[in-house]
Structure 1
Amino acid sequence: MSERFERDKPIGKALAEWWQGLENDRASRAILRRAAGPTEVALSAPYQRLYRRLQLQGWNPDSKAYLDDRLAAAVGLLAHVREDSPGLSPAKSMSQRKAGDDRLAVSELRFLRLLDARDIEALYDSLRRVLPLMDGRVDVLALTNDLLQWGEQVKKRWAYAYEWPARTSS
């Protein structure tokens, strides 16, 4: 069925509704926010409830374990997102500037380190630290899809979407 979350598809709607429901489910949000990594997320009751809900909508019909691991990482990170901003890709959000500040939300060096994440655990850890710098604003489904598809293509897409700071010549 589906390994991609889209707003007009049942699986995307289910994930978006679940994320919106976290506002009133502080206990689940707290459990997910405290999870040290995707494995802890996967072993949590809030994740397992969502997982069953997504399965009913057609999630991962071929039972690819790596996709379940990546979904767990996405769910754990979504608990740190404060505002779903459709159309605001993770890389665009990382390169936003705060009012009155010339610095990017996520520095060039930190962004490059994030792109060098050796596995989904390292990526989870890096993104968990970066989300507060982005004021917790990102497209929830775009972040989820990028984590599910993490690899060279997503890294390149992020590199092109990130607004690299201009270098001044001396």
Structure 2
Amino acid sequence: MRERTFAPHTPAGNVLEEWWLALAENRGDRAELCRARSADDAALMPVTVQLVTRLQGTAVAQHGGWIERIPAIAGLAAHLDPDARNAVLADTTPLPERMVRPKGDRPVVSELRFRRLLRTPRHELYRPMMRILALLDHQANLFELAESLFWWGPGMQKQWAFAYFPKLPKTA
């Protein structure tokens, strides 16, 4: 198993955390980034370019196509609740497990929506993930969100499936 690229206390994780904390304090940049309708929109914003520039000196920059992956991370990180810092920075509950938590008699993210998400290619992931973060009350672990978006593909999709489906309540 590969080492996590955006794990806390790694150079990339530190850059991401510092960037997000600064974004949480800058309501204007955060609001602008929250209005981005796609990763391409987010890529054109100075605050995203700052993150990309700061990540150049980390292991992230060793991966082909990395620059195209960061704007989605930046845009979706802006949707994380700045008042829920414990959930964003310290809660280690995997995202798929957060999605399957009960909300009434159903999971927060329905099985159908989750299955659709698993079939979504990286370049189309931005809007569905915006909706899912809203369903999660804008609370998810920043590092896991970044890791999942950066490595989205068959391997990550399988990890998510193995985290979500075993926790899904059985129906008759």
Fold agreement, TM-score > 0.5: yes
Q: In structure 2, what is the equivalent of residue 104 of structure 1?
A: 107
Instruction: Give the ranges of 4+ consecutive aligned residues of structure 1 lying more than 6 Å apart after TM superposition.
Output: none
The Cα shift of 1:3 comes to: 8.1
Query: Quick one: which of 138, 161, 170 aligns to 1:166?
Result: 170
- 1:84-124 CA distance string (max 9 Å, x none): 043122111111224xx22211111111111111x223211
Q: Given that residues 148 and 156 in structure 2 are in contact (C-alpha distance below 8 angstroms), is that contact kept between their aligned partners in structure 1?
A: yes
The alignment covers a number of residue pairs equal to 162
Matches of 1:23 and 1:136, distance apart in 2: 13
Gaps of 5+ in 1: none
Matches of 2:155 and 2:135, distance apart in 1: 24
Matches of 1:27 and 1:57, distance apart in 2: 27
Q: In structure 1, what is the equivalent of residue 73 of structure 2?
A: 74
Matches of 2:37 and 2:6, distance apart in 1: 24
Q: In structure 2, what is the equivalent of residue 135 of structure 1?
A: 137
Matches of 2:30 and 2:46, distance apart in 1: 11
Q: Given that residues 3 and 59 in structure 1 are in contact (C-alpha distance below 8 angstroms), is that contact kept between their aligned partners in structure 2?
A: no
Determine which structure has the larger helix proportion and give its number: 2
**Aligned-partner residue type, residue 155 of structure 1:** Q
**Aligned-partner residue type, residue 87 of structure 1:** T
Matches of 1:20 and 1:90, distance apart in 2: 20
Gaps of 5+ in 2: none
Query: Quick one: which of 99, 113, 116 aligns to 1:94?
Result: 99
